[in-house]
């Protein structure tokens, strides 16, 4: 059964992931451009921030996303997501478990799960009530060193075995996104190619048009 948040905001299209940025004003300005360009979901991810900065940035980012009617979820930090009443959380294999996250956040929040290149993890994550599954990295990525490599062929198999939306992640840019989208992914998660560009709004618009 789909949760209420997903009924209003299906996981599809452009999924923006924030980079490690200490300048909160710059983070918010770039995210607003990404939202104006058509992002359908924002994930707050800052591996370099301390607890205080992470809290302030996440809260400010949530308010910004709410003004655009777009969900904002928190990477890894389930307690932070619960504290600021974010729209959900994204967890990896070594983070808080999906069942624990669901218990802390409730039925109407988005829970996404990284499953790398493992269909068995994805099947179990769906059973545990994950709202979407993320596979990757499909391409070399600057965001995560020594990232697990996922073949595009996993997407065809996943579409046959899963009912929840599928997200592709890892090194995706304007020149390599289309093969993933044509393979049937519901969304592409973009960090560097979206935020580290001179015109995040125009870049976001281009990514969003790929799904038209």
Which residues are the active-site residues?
Answer: 45, 114, 144
- Burial class for 152, CB neighbours closer than 10 Å (0-12, 13-18, 19+): middle
Nearest to 190 by CA among 179, 209, 204: 204
Alpha-carbon span 109 to 4, nearest angstrom: 8
Alpha-carbon span 178 to 13, nearest angstrom: 12
The number of CA neighbours under 13 Å toward the Cβ of 84 is: 24
The 3-state secondary structure of 51-106, one letter per residue: HHHHHHHHHHHHHHHHHCCCCEEEECCHHHHHHHCCCEEEECCCCCCHHHHHHHHC
Nearest to 128 by CA among 104, 98, 158, 100: 98
Token pair 């300048």: residue = 23
């Amino acid at each position: 059964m789909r949760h209420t948040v997903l009924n209003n905001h299906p996981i599809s299209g452009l999924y923006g992931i924030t980079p490690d940025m200490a300048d909160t004003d710059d983070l918010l300005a770039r995210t607003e451009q990404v939202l104006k360009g058509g992002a359908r979901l924002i994930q707050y991810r800052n591996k370099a921030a301390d607890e205080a900065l992470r809290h302030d940035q996440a809260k400010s980012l949530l308010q910004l996303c709410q003004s655009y009617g777009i969900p904002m979820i928190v990477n890894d930090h389930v307690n932070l997501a619960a504290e600021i009443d974010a729209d959900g959380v994204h967890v990896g294999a070594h983070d808080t478990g999906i069942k624990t996250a669901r218990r802390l956040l409730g039925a109407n929040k988005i829970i996404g799960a990284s499953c790398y290149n493992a269909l068995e993890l994805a099947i179990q994550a769906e059973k545990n009530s994950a709202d979407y599954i993320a596979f990757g990295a499909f391409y070399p990525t600057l965001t995560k060193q020594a990232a697990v490599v996922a073949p595009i062929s996993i997407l065809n198999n996943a579409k046959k075995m899963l009912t929840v939306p599928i997200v592709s992640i890892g090194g995706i840019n304007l020149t390599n996104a289309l093969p993933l989208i044509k393979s049937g992914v519901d969304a592409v998660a973009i960090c560097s190619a979206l935020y580290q560009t001179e015109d995040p709004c125009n870049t976001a618009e281009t990514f969003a048009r790929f799904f038209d």
